[in-house]
Amino acid sequence: MPQVCRWFEDRGYDREWLSEPGTGYGVHRLTGTPQPMVAGRHMFTFTRHDKGQALGEV
């Protein structure tokens, strides 16, 4: 979760709230300048996370 928070904060979002450790929920609010969406580009890419694999490993 700390890495995800850094990704948002590095891109102009302020942290508003985080859940208890181990649950992985949070809220960030954009306070920077909004950027236009680029056609064909994804905001998020979700990948499978296998048991036993540490977060952040590729």
pLDDT score, position 29: 96
Question: Tens digit of pLDDT for each residue in 39-48?
Answer: 998 878 888 7
Angle, CA 2 vertex, CA 22 and CA 28 arms, to 5°: 95
Question: Tens digit of pLDDT for each residue in 9-28?
Answer: 998 999 999 998 888 889 99
Q: How far apart are CA 41 and CA 20, in angstroms?
A: 32
Whether the predicted pLDDT of 8 surpasses 80: yes
Whether the predicted pLDDT of 58 surpasses 50: no
